[in-house]
Amino acid sequence: MRKTLTLALALAVLGTLPAAAQYVPSEGNLKARQQMQARRLGIFLHWGIYSTYAQGEWYLSTGKLQPDVYAEAAGGFYPARFDAAAWAKAFKDAGAGYVTLTSRHHDGFSMFDTAATDFDIMDATPFKRDVLAELTEAVKAEGMDMQYYYSLIDWIRPDYPKGHSGVAKDSTLANYNHYFDFEKAQIAELMAHHPRALWFDGIWDHEDETPAFPWRMEELYNYIHSIDPDCLVGNNHHRTVLEGEDFQMFEQDLPGENSAGLSEQSVISATLPLETCATMNWAWGYKVADQNYKSVKQIVHLLVRAASKGANLLLNIGPQANGELPAAALDRLKGLGEWMRENGHTVNGCGATGLPEEPWGVTTRDAHHLYLHILDPEKAPATYSFQGRTIPLPKAKADAIDTIVTIRL
Ligand code: GLC
């Protein structure tokens, strides 16, 4: 006994004790990671009953609405103009490789057919169509991958223990283990649609808690991978990745940057795909007053700079309650598509070069080419030196979105 203990201790100290919990990704999972990295643009969709209020996806919390009053929006949710095939085509034409839909946001409303609650699109709305299933089919038919966002928060269910966000709740009814079982039931339902990835959010709701809030994330990840080992798991917890996660994500900032104050985590690009999610305007969910959209040029620059860091851009749109994509978003998608048709090969299938970001722009590369992206023509030099070669650079037009110079390797 003593000997066994001593051996175990020695192995543990050496770090060689086989940790039962250590996650080993499947072959298919590693392939899915590569595929994720090869398609640099994803479209993020924040769509739910909050869209009917047109005040962003946090309206229950920011508007301090009583949950039962807020939930009445479900009765009026009838997105008559929703056309999954038209959405999928618009995303495909924009050059996107995948789509991430909010299956359930912090308000707890499920945008899919679920047996785990009646607070879902089939039971609580007059629309009674599984928009998640319809969109999944349409997205896959366009050859893109489908991913689901899933919030770990629930502002309405009594069993979710209230954190920083949301409105007051009867804390005596909180029962995380009960809530966890509900989540598992829903996740099994989502997995039946074979998403490429699940995208979690909300851990920050119990940040700063002592002792740490028992989210049981590893258990949830094991559960997901036991259903489908190839399904990628990511979590918007703003921390370094946890055991069992397959990609690392950043909110409103590129990896290694932190202008929004949400990205202090270190970047582990060597081993995992990276993804930055960003809004086109300010809010994630449809907000009628928020018309301050990034230009096509700004979006392209974000995408190119993401690719130069080996990261994807998950570009958000907040669809309207009537089922339409906002006109400004459609306009940006169109412009993005024009750029991608000509230049998509300089981001898709491309990664970081290891060369530093320059005052004039960035570089990306594939197996045979180095691409110089001149994003700020005023700062562009006349020549560029690379591996002992000096290459004259064309005069970049002042109004060009991105002047690309291709160098054969
Ligand atoms: C934040 C917001 C949430 C949004 C998410 C997207 O966590 O709380 O509303 O869905 O960012 O990254």
Domains of the chain with CATH codes: 4-346 (3.20.20.80), 361-408 (no CATH)
100 ligand 1 Cβ < 6 A: no
pLDDT at 346: 98
Tens digit of each residue's pLDDT, the chain (409 residues): 444 444 444 444 444 444 456 999 999 999 999 999 999 999 999 999 999 999 999 999 999 999 999 999 999 999 999 999 999 999 999 999 999 999 999 999 999 999 999 999 999 999 999 999 999 999 999 999 999 999 999 999 999 999 999 999 999 999 999 999 999 999 999 999 999 999 999 999 999 888 899 999 999 999 999 999 999 999 999 888 999 999 999 999 898 888 888 877 777 656 799 999 999 999 999 999 999 999 999 999 999 999 999 999 999 999 999 999 999 999 999 999 999 999 999 999 999 999 999 999 999 999 999 999 999 999 999 999 999 999 999 888 888 999 999 999 9
312 ligand 1 Cβ < 6 A: no
| Residue 216, Ramachandran bin (φ over 0: left; ψ between -120 and 50: alpha; else beta) | left
230 ligand 1 Cβ < 6 A: no
Q: In angstroms, what is the span from residue 279 Cα to ligand 1's centroid?
A: 10
236 ligand 1 Cβ < 6 A: yes
Q: How many residues does the chain have?
A: 409
249 ligand 1 Cβ < 6 A: no
pLDDT at 268: 64
Residue labelled with tokens 């921390």: 239
Tokens of 266: 């270190």
Tokens of 191: 């997995």
Q: In angstroms, what is the span from residue 207 Cα to ligand 1's centroid?
A: 15
Q: In angstroms, what is the span from residue 369 Cα to ligand 1's centroid?
A: 36
pLDDT at 176: 98
Q: In angstroms, what is the span from residue 278 Cα to ligand 1's centroid?
A: 10
284 ligand 1 Cβ < 6 A: yes
Q: What is the pTM of this model?
A: 0.94
> Among 311, 250, 252, which residue's Cα sits nearest to residue 281?
252
In sequence order, which ranges of 212-295 are alpha helices (DSSP H)? 217-227
* Rounded CA separation 389/275 (Å): 33
Burial call 364-391: b when 16+ CB within 10 Å, e when fewer: bbbeeebbbbbbebeebeeebeeeeeee
> Among 319, 200, 327, 183, which residue's Cα sits nearest to residue 251?
200
Give the position, in ligand 1's atom list, of the atom nearest the Cα of 201. Answer: 7
CA distances from 309 to 201, 358, 361, 363, 384 (A): 23, 13, 12, 9, 20
- Residue 209 CB neighbours (<10 A): 12
205 ligand 1 Cβ < 6 A: no
